[in-house]
């Protein structure tokens, strides 16, 4: 059992010290490597990280790799490709992992049916606490992700990328799909396409894996002043991403897989007839009907990519079942 901690960074010079110090304090009776992925930084993030790590007292191995294509999804993929160990923990540049985080994550991932696990994030505010932190904290990956620990595959359906623990072999299977990743994730300070972590979780469930929330997994999420402004929250809420239409179409594809093409096809056709005056509803049901029929003519580009990915992942899952 061994763990690779993947820290994706873009211009993280002012945040990375506390993050690395927290990782270095983690307790593990197995091999651990820390891989910092420098995602096209311009502020000496890599040099600062090497300097900080050099003065820390830790047996963990540390190295820096580069991903010039800007986007959190691409940085994560680079980290997966470069990692040496099977168990992976994604740690954002503003996440401070608790001491037992790696041990608990490895314990949960020891079950081969688990595709991903994550926990709770306690906020550390650098400034006055804004009221929206209580009502909209989920947009900022703050708080708990479920009322209690357990399988959230069919209830919540996703886990935050902050602190997400996964199996490298599963993600390598996902990244072999020619259209994945679809969403780029955060690309710079105010350039967002949210939901790249949701995309990973969705792909894992299509492969037949479980998503497990465990409240023993705890990290501290540092919130600097620029992320405590209402403008930042609005940017998150308004950005294109997995929420809404994309999530709904992915759920429709899962329904086809779980309930059969004919059943979902008839239901979507019936709903299409009912939604004559609701153009968006009508278009959605038409897309699901076409997916059930194996046709992509009524899908937009993003839906078409999701459909191709779902077909590819299901073929991979069925192939692995036959082999085993």
| Domain map (residue ranges) of the chain | 2-240, 247-323
CA 322 to CA 320: how far, in whole Å? Answer: 5
Please, are residues 5 and 214 in contact by the beta-carbon 8 Å criterion? no
- Number of residues written out for the chain: 324
CA 55 to CA 255: how far, in whole Å? Answer: 52
Positions in the chain whose pLDDT score sits under 70: 188-193, 240, 243, 321-324
DSSP output for 211-270: EEEEEEEEEEEEE-GGGSSHHHHHHHHHS-BSTTHHHHHHHHHHHHHHH-HHHHHHHHHH
Q: Please give the pLDDT value at position 191.
A: 57
CA neighbor of 43 nearest in space, from 6, 11, 72, 65 = 11
Q: Please give the pLDDT value at position 242.
A: 72
Exposure letters 49-84 (e unless 16+ CB within 10 A, then b): beebbeeeeeebebebbebeebbbbbbbbbbbebbe
Q: Please give the pLDDT value at position 195.
A: 83
Distance of CA 1 to the CA centre of its chain: 23
Secondary structure (3-state) at 275? coil
DSSP output for 4-21: EEEEEESS-TTTHHHHHH
Q: Please give the pLDDT value at position 244.
A: 72
Superfamily of domain 2-240: Spore Coat Polysaccharide Biosynthesis Protein SpsA; Chain A (3.90.550.10)
Read off the pTM.
0.92
CA neighbor of 119 nearest in space, from 137, 134, 98, 136 = 98
Please, are residues 233 and 132 in contact by the beta-carbon 8 Å criterion? yes
Residue 163 CB burial class (10 angstroms; 0-12, 13-18, ≥19): buried
CA neighbor of 180 nearest in space, from 35, 318, 4, 307 = 307
């Amino acid at each position: 059992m061994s763990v690779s901690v993947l820290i994706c960074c873009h211009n993280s010079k002012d945040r990375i010290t506390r993050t690395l110090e927290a990782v270095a304090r983690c307790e593990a009776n197995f091999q651990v490597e820390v891989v910092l992925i420098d995602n096209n930084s311009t502020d000496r993030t890599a040099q600062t990280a090497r300097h900080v790590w050099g003065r820390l007292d830790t047996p963990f191995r540390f190295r820096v790799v580069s991903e010039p294509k800007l986007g959190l999804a691409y940085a994560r993929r680079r980290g997966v490709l470069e990692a040496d160990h099977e168990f992976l923990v994604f740690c954002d540049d503003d996440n401070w992992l608790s001491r037992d985080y790696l041990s608990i994550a490895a314990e949960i991932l020891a079950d081969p049916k688990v595709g991903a696990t994550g926990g709770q994030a306690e906020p550390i505010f650098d400034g006055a606490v804004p009221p929206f932190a209580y009502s909209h904290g989920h947009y900022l990956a703050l708080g708990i992700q479920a009322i209690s620990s357990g399988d959230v595959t069919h209830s919540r359906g996703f886990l935050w990328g902050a602190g997400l623990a996964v199996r490298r072999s599963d993600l390598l299977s996902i990244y072999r799909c020619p259209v994945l990743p679809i969403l780029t994730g955060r690309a710079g300070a105010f350039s967002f396409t949210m939901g790249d972590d949701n995309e990973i979780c969705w792909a894992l469930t299509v492969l037949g894996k479980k998503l497990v929330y465990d409240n023993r997994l705890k990290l501290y999420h540092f919130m600097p002043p620029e992320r405590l402004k209402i403008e930042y929250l609005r940017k998150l809420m308004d950005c294109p991403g997995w929420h809404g239409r994309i999530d709904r179409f992915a759920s429709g594809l899962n329904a086809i897989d779980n309930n059969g093409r004919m059943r979902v096809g008839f239901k979507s056709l019936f709903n299409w007839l009912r939604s004559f005056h609701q153009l968006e509803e009508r278009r959605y049901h038409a897309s699901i009907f076409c997916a059930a029929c194996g046709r992509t003519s009524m899908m937009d580009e993003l839906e078409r990519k999701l459909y191709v990915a779902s077909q590819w992942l299901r073929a991979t899952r069925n192939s692995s079942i036959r082999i085993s």
